[in-house]
Amino acid sequence: MSDPSRQPVYPIYPIPRPVTGQDARFTLGLALDVADLLARHGYPPIACGADLLRLQQALFTAIYQTATQESL
C-alpha cells in the first residue's frame, strides 16, 4: 500500500550542466572512487587510461543533461 503522506518521488538525474562547463565535484578522484567501488563488487579493475576515460565519460553522461535534454 502507498502512504498518502509521502510525496511522489521524481527522478533528479540527469542534472543540468554547469553554466561554466565545470563542476568542482566532478574530479578524477570521483572516477577513481567509482572504479574502486566497481572492482570491489567484482568488476575488472581499471587497467589503463582509456578505461578510466570511458568511465569518466559514462559518469558525465549519467550525471549531466545533454544539450538536447536542456532544451526540452
Spatial CA neighbour of 26 closest among 53, 51, 54, 63: 63
Whole-number average pLDDT of the chain: 88
The pTM of the whole model exceeds 0.95: no
Question: Which pLDDT does position 70 carry in this prediction?
Answer: 52
64 backbone dihedrals φ, ψ, rounded to 5°: -110, 145
Q: What is the average pLDDT across 45-54?
A: 96
Task: Quote the pLDDT of residue 68.
Answer: 65
Which residue intervals of 1-72 are DSSP H helices?
28-40, 49-63, 67-70
Q: Domain segments of the chain: what residues?
A: 28-70
